[in-house]
Each structure stands twice: as structure tokens, then as C-alpha cells.
Copies of this chain bind each other. A is one copy, B any other.
Amino acid sequence: MAATTCRVSLPREPAILGHLPMDRQLILFGNGFAPPQSVEAAVLGDKAANLARMAQAGIAVPATAVLPVSLVDRFIRDPEASAAWLDASMEGILHRFGAADDDLLCVRPSPVFNVPGLLHTVLGLGQTPAGFAVHARAHGEAFAWRKRREMLQSYGEIAAGIGPEVFEEALEDLVEQGAGERALCAAAEAAYERESGSAFQAPRGQQIACAIRAAVASWLKARAQNYRDLHGLPHLGGLAVIIQKQVLADADERGGAGFAISRTMEDGAPRIHGMWVPVGPARRKLPLSLWQPEAAGRGEAALESLDPEAHAALSLLAQKLEATFHDAQRFEFVVGEGRVFAMSTEPARPPVKTAMRIACDLVERGMAQPDEALMRIDPLALEQLIHKTIDPMAKRDVIGTGLGASPGAASGHLVFSAAEAAARRAKGEPAIMVRTETSPEDVVGMAAADGVVTARGGLTSHAAVVARGMGKPCVTGAASLQIDSARRKLTSGSRVFSAGDMVTIDGTTGEILLGALPTVLPEISADFATVLGWADTHRALGIRANADTAAEARTARDFGAEGIGLCRTEHMFFKAERVAVMREMILAEDKQARDTALERLGPMQREDFEALFAIMAGLPVTIRLLDPPLHEFLPNREHEFVDTARALGVDVESLRIRVDAMREVNPMLGHRGCRLAISHPEILDMQARAIFEAALNTQARTGTVITPEIMVPFVCAAEEVRVVRARIEKMAERIERERGLKPQFKIGTMIELPRAALGADRIARECTFFSFGTNDLTQTTYGISRDDSSPFLALYRERGVFQSDPFQKFDVIGAGEMMRIATEKGRVSRPELTLAVCGEHGGEPGSIAFFDSLGLHYVSCSPYRVPIARLAAAQAAIARKARRN
């Protein structure tokens, strides 16, 4: 855990490097050398490990020497001794490596994880006077001079920091005059001497040693260090360096270099495509295959036409790579010395729909196991496949049009700032955020909003990129809109819209529409079902959905939810026609008036529960008792005061005083959750009755036994659960007397306060399940109110105080530790305790991996997140098993 934040200081080892046979640590493979048995990326870095795997698979790889991570760590720890060693032993290493006089060598960093600003491949090193003669003899003097000039430029940059523009300037006129390679080389050498202050005289070993030092230096640059600090990555153990024999493509008239992808990006068919640059002065990028759009109209330029043999060799190479890496690949190649060499390879990373097709294809062909194939699909990318679209039958009142920057449809209240978006979100209300353009400070608001509209920017604008990442509908470049954030007005022609107005956006067509339009779900492909089917067999976590309405419950089941993990009963009361009764209940002057209102609310709740039970057809349904402070239901706007005062038969002013008296300084920490159930047992009674009656009614109608799971929110002490449970049990007995049938039910607690986690052993004695409310747990553990946090959280992330928003990415150090304590203590008291998560983190893949590691029973997330959670849970379980082996 320490790795995620602390600034690693580099431990110093005794300076005994000079005495150790460091060259024995070199790993050699490729032409003439046997591939290593173990190809751990942690030892070789990613790039070298892939090269080694290719060599193991019999794929042509140039001769390669790797300075493994352990050796580079020594360079980092003791740069002086290492430099001395490098200078002293490089010639010997090259000899052992079998580098001939005329071999050219390149040096490439091979990091274990990506870090920005690393040195690129340094080409054309390792030159000797003898080599020059061999080149001149074999390929002509021009070739030899060119190679020497290229080496000078490479070496000049790494040894003396001479930028490429210096050499370009020095050669420019000569090139225009059509000067020969010898003259160009002389000009480059003169430039080198001028810039570095001394004549070039680096023997072969020194050229390589210098490049290795440059690779290590690039790893230690401030930018890379800061990046690692910020992302909690270690400074040691992250870098290996490759020395590789170069393929002399330009000594071969059919030579060239490029990249290829083993499959199409559209449908995942096993047909290579890519681009290459053939040898020669033109340096034109040409397509590989005739079917590529780039080949349209100039088929003769494609490799497939120019050199069908090389194209076939590449296709064969692509197949070998897929067979080796069990996935579609994007690889770099060189054609030269009469062969095709693979220089590097990485996953092809197609769009998620294609990725699923490829995964299915590889498994069908027996080229990959389902668990392997599953790991290749980004769970968050699934959102792209499951977005809602606007019902085609709906009447569209278009108020503006822009670019469809992130697919899907969403409705919400117009908001003009991140704070407004967060405020709506906090109230459970949808929001569409409207900005002239977005900046990183808006990310928090975008996360809180359901959709984003910008007046400026294209498909790669900040808003577009971020929204796609979040899987949220986004329209950019809606230039017809004038946005006045200060006055919170949106003008489109002669029409003016205000904050709070309801709009719908279509992130596919780019339309902004007035009102909340009905939406429909996309059709789901067979591959989607296949992949999620595999996921279901591999995951350990159950997946439920947070659903308060019949529509949400239906969506949840369609997406494969195994039950409802959280039904927020208060959402049923925020509906306009019900909130009036709710207000009458809360503001009732006496018990009788309150009971009358409750008698009207009860049947409404019962009907809601009946609908949920019917849709879930016996799957578990977890119902949370009323959670928000009662004042959240009370009037806010003038006309609400008037309506409520009339309904209660009181005057507006005295109503206002009573409402004001109920407000709280810190409602988040106020009179809410089970505190309400204890202070207002009549509300608890109403809810318990509605749950039991709905369960028995549904049971009678369907014949399936319904066992609702009643969840007590905001618990801080076991005594609270005891009091609430006793009251619920009393109601169950009463219902049994009335109906002659015993209601079945379970009682559990939300664990969302630190004290509940710390006292979980006591609480577990009072109930049979825990569901972690990770939102409130994050708020209280951090002491951050989500409603107010936007301004300073954005600042914290900007300044690197926080790496991520803890409301998006679950915080393992704080809230995670609370969960670990609660899980352990709860299980001590009740080994069979059911453990779950029902906060928003339940649908976030990184958080799901943590929940899987705690051995929870299920996560519950929003219905649209269910497929993501299914896949993420499978990946977490597979990765956990792999770690264990």
C-alpha cells in the first residue's frame, strides 16, 4: 500500500558493482541465441519480454541483449560505479553478443510500466572503422557514409544533446544542391564538432554505453519521477534496456518497415492491415492490404500488390503472434536481409464490440481460453454497447444541434456549473451540464451530470474525450447555443432556457431536445451475451442492481442482475403526487393527522413493492428504510409553500417558520436513517407493513415465496438495529395474526459510518447481512461532504494532493480499511454473515477488484452498470486466482 503515495527514496548499496560479473546478468536471445525460459515482464520489461516470447515461438527476432531490471536498478542506485563498469565492459559484452564489425545496433528502453518522456529507440549505433569498410564493400560507399551520418546524428543527440533540427539545418542546403552522402556526412560531423565542442571520437562500446546511460537518465527525469510519484509507481524495478542488432532494411531493395494489425477493427476478421514505408528516398507511407480504405484507388501501392510474398509472410507472422499471445496483435516489423522480422508487438485494442467478436472467435478456434479472452475486454467500454437511445416514436422539439461526441441519450435539468450538477446528483436528480467548453475543472461536474453539452469544440475536444471515457452522452460544438453561465441562461435563436429546465440530449445524432423524452435500450449482440456468460462462470461476486422503480428493475434483469441490492424507498415519495401526502404526514399537528397521512402512503408503497417483487420473481429484493432527513421532503419554492399551507389549513408564514425550524446545519450528519425509524416508529410501521403485505400479496398471486431483505440505514450502534428489528418483528407478528400467514424476511444493516464498521461485531449479532454504503462511508471517513466538495476536490486533484476523486474510485486506505475491519469483525460474530456493497462504487471496475479481494458476496450497482460489474467481477476473480498460483 505504501507504494501508492510515498516518495520512494533510493536505497544505496555498497559500491561493489565493479567486482560483480554484471555481464553474466545479461539475457541474450534472437538469431543464434536460445530464448530465455522465463519471460517475466517484471525482469525484462514489457517490450523485451514480448520479444523473448516471440523468440520462444520461433518467430524471427533480431539478436537481442537485455540489461534486466535488476541490473538497471544498480545503475540507478550507483550511477558512478555503473558508468565505470559500462565503459570498461561494453566492448567485451558486444564481443560475447557476437556483434560483427559491420553490425549496426540499436538501444531501446523496455519499461515494466509506461512512463512519459522515456528515450525513443536509438538507431545506427555500434559503428567501427572496420565496419565502415565492410559496408562500403558490400553495399556501396554511399550506404556506408549514410550509416555513419545517421550514427553521428543519433549519438550527437544522446551524448551532447544536439537536437535533430541542428543537423537538418546543417544539411538543408547540401540536400537541395543534391550533394552526395559523403559530403552530407562531413557536414554532419562538422556540426557535431561545432555543437559539442570536440571532434567525434567514440569507439563502438562507448556509443552503446552512452545510449544505455541516456535511457536510464530519461527514466530519472523530473517528469517521469513526478508521474511515478503521482501514480504510486516505484522508482526502482521498472526499467530494463535492450541492445539489439539492427536489420539493414535499406541494404535490401525490397526492404522496408511498418506496423500491422492482425485483424480488422470493424468485425475482427483475421485479415492483416497496417502501413509501411519501403526503402528509398520517397519515405511514403503505404497500405499493407488491398482491402484497406487507404488502398482505395491506388491498389498498386499496397504491399499486397508490390510484394505478395512479404504480405503472405506478414499474414503468417500475424497468425503466429495471435497463437502466441492469444489475442489480436498490433506489431512492428522490418523487411530486410530477405526476411520479415518482428520488432515488437502489443494487443491490437479494437473497439469493444470488435474485441468481443475477436474474443469469441479466438475461443471458438481454440486459440484462447475464455478466462484469458475475458481479461482482454475493458469493462468500462461495455457502456458504449448499452446506451439508451431516444424512442424513435417520441416527438422531438430540437432546440440545438452539435456533434454526436459520445453515444447514448440522457435527460436532465439544465445546470451551468459543476456545483449545480453535484447538487442535483446529491438530490438524486438528473442533470445535463451545459458549458461553452470544458476544462479539467469541469470533470467533477461531468461525472455528476447525466450528459454534457458544449457550444465549442469538436469530437476530440476535452468534453468529448472525457465524456466518452465516462460513457456519458455528450454533444459538442453546438454553436447555435449561447451559454451565459453567470445568469444561468441558454439562448437558442429567440428561445431562452433557464437552469432547471428539463432537456434531453442525443449523443449519437448531436441533437439537444426540450423535455424528458422516453428512451429505449439497444439490442445486445450474441458476443456480448457469450462474453458475459463466461464472466458469470468465473466471477465470485454476485451482481445485483440498485433499482427503485419497476422500469429500473426490468432493465436490471435484462442486464443480468441477480436481484435488487438497494431499493431506496424515499425515491418513491419524491414523486409529485406523493410528496404532498408526505408533507402532510411530516407536518401533521397531531398523531391522528399523521396516521391519516400514513394510511394514504402505505398502499402507495405496497404497490411499488408489489411491482418490484413481481419483476424480480423470487430473486432477492433489498429494501432500505426511509433514509433522508424529513426536511428534504418539505417545501422549498414559493408555490410549494402555498400548496402545502392550503393542504394543511395553515398560513404560509407559520408554515415557513415550522419548515425553517426543521432545517439542519449539517443534514448529511443529521436526523436521518434509522434515527428516523427510532424517533418516528409510525413511519417504520407503515413501511414494514407495506413490505410484508406486498410480499404476501405477490406470494399469493405467484406461488413463489418472497423473502424481502429489510435494510436499516445509517446505523452507528448495535442498539439501533435491536430497537428497529424488534419493531419490525412486532409488525410481522401483527401481519401474521391478520393474515394467518407468517411473512418471511431478513434484516440487515447499511454499514456507512465508521462507528458501524468498528462495532461490526456487535451489529452482526443483530442482523444477517451488511451492505456497505460506500458513498456515505467515503464522506464520513474523509470528512468530505459530496454536496460541497467540488471546488476543493478539483483543486486537490489539480495539485496532485489527491490522485482521484474518492467518490469515483474507491479509497482503499480509508473507506477500504473501514470495510476490511467491518468484514473481519462481522464474520467473527456471525460466520455466515452476507456481505455486500450498494454504493456507486459497486459498478466501478477498480473498486470491484477490491470488493472481490475482501470476499464479499455481491455488489449492487445502477442497472446500466450491471454488465460492467459482471465482467469486472470475473476479471477480478481470474486475476486473484492467477496471483495465488
- Which residues of chain A have a CB within 8 Å of any CB of chain B? 2, 5-6, 423, 426, 664-671, 675, 678-679, 714, 716-720, 723, 752-755, 758-759, 762, 765, 776, 779-785, 787-788, 791-792, 795-796, 799-802, 811, 813-815, 817-818
Contacts and interface: CB of A to CB of B under 8 A. Distances in A.
Contact of A791 (B671, B719, B817): B671
Contacts of A783: 668-669, 714, 716, 752-755, 776, 780
A670 B779 CA distance: 10
Contact of A814 (B678, B755, B782): B755
A802 B719 contact: yes
Contacts of A5: 717-719, 762
Contacts of A668: 665-666, 669, 783, 785
A434 to B, nearest CB: 19
A755 B776 contact: no
A6 B719 CA distance: 9
B664 A723 contact: no
Contact of A679 (B2, B717, B795): B795
A258 to B, nearest CB: 45
A539 to B, nearest CB: 28
Given A787-B666, A788-B670, A802-B719, A781 B755 contact: yes
Nearest to A720: B801
Copies of this chain held together in the complex:
2
Contacts of A762: 2, 5-6, 813
B719 A813 contact: no
Contacts of A758: 781, 813-814, 817-818
Nearest to A423: B665
A801 B666 contact: no
A643 B569 CA distance: 47
Given A5-B718, A669-B779, A759-B813, 14 more contacts: A5-B717, A6-B765, A666-B785, A666-B788, A667-B788, A670-B785, A678-B792, A679-B791, A714-B783, A719-B802, A753-B783, A755-B781, A755-B815, A758-B781
A818 B716 CA distance: 14
A873 to B, nearest CB: 26
B754 A787 contact: no
Nearest to A790: B671
Contacts of A754: 754, 780-781, 783, 814, 818
A792 B675 contact: yes
8 contacts: A423-B665, A671-B788, A679-B791, A679-B792, A753-B783, A754-B783, A755-B813, A780-B780
A791 B663 CA distance: 13
B669 A667 contact: no
A120 B800 CA distance: 70
A664 B817 CA distance: 28
A756 B419 CA distance: 26
A813 B784 CA distance: 23
A669 B788 contact: yes
A570 to B, nearest CB: 17
Contacts of A799: 678, 723
A678 B797 CA distance: 12
A675 B799 CA distance: 12
A59 to B, nearest CB: 46
A73 B716 CA distance: 34
Contacts of A787: 664-666
Given A754-B754, A791-B671, A800 B719 contact: yes
B669 A669 contact: yes
A788 B678 CA distance: 16
A788 B800 CA distance: 35
A758 B162 CA distance: 51
Contacts of A765: 6
Complex A-B, nearest 9 residue pairs according to Cβ-Cβ distance, in ascending order: A755-B814, A666-B785, A669-B785, A665-B787, A753-B783, A754-B754, A664-B788, A666-B668, A666-B666
A275 B814 CA distance: 63
Contact of A716 (B6, B784, B791): B784
A761 B776 CA distance: 24
Nearest to A813: B759
Contact of A719 (B423, B670, B679, B801): B801
B814 A716 contact: yes
B785 A664 contact: yes
Contacts of A666: 666-669, 785, 787-788
A426 B666 CA distance: 12
Nearest to A422: B665
Contacts of A718: 5-6
A666 to B, nearest CB: 4
A162 to B, nearest CB: 37
Contacts of A781: 716, 753-755, 758, 780
Contact of A723 (B675, B759, B801, B814): B801
Nearest to A820: B758
Contact of A678 (B667, B796, B817): B796
Given A664-B785, A664-B787, A716-B783, A811 B669 contact: no
A98 B627 CA distance: 68
A2 B718 CA distance: 11
Nearest to A815: B755
B669 A759 contact: no
Contact of A755 (B2, B717, B723, B811): B811
A830 to B, nearest CB: 13
A717 B754 CA distance: 17
A815 B782 CA distance: 14
Nearest to A755: B814
Contacts of A671: 788, 791-792
A668 B667 CA distance: 10
Contacts of A782: 716, 753, 755
Contacts of A818: 754, 758
A160 B426 CA distance: 65
A795 B723 CA distance: 13
A524 to B, nearest CB: 40
Contacts of A426: 665
A617 B712 CA distance: 55
Contact of A717 (B720, B776, B801): B801
A716 B789 CA distance: 14
A678 B785 contact: no
A129 to B, nearest CB: 54
Nearest to A674: B801
A755 B778 CA distance: 9
**Which of A717, A754, A788, A799 counts the most chain B CB atoms within 10 A?**
A754
A2 B779 CA distance: 28
Nearest to A670: B788
Nearest to A753: B783
A678 B813 contact: no
A752 B782 CA distance: 10
Contacts of A675: 792, 796
Contacts of A720: 801
Contact of A801 (B6, B678, B788): B678
A752 B783 CA distance: 9
A720 B799 CA distance: 10
A755 B806 CA distance: 12
Contacts of A6: 718, 762, 765
Contacts of A670: 785, 788
Nearest to A661: B419
Contacts of A759: 813-814
A678 B664 CA distance: 28
Contacts of A802: 717, 719
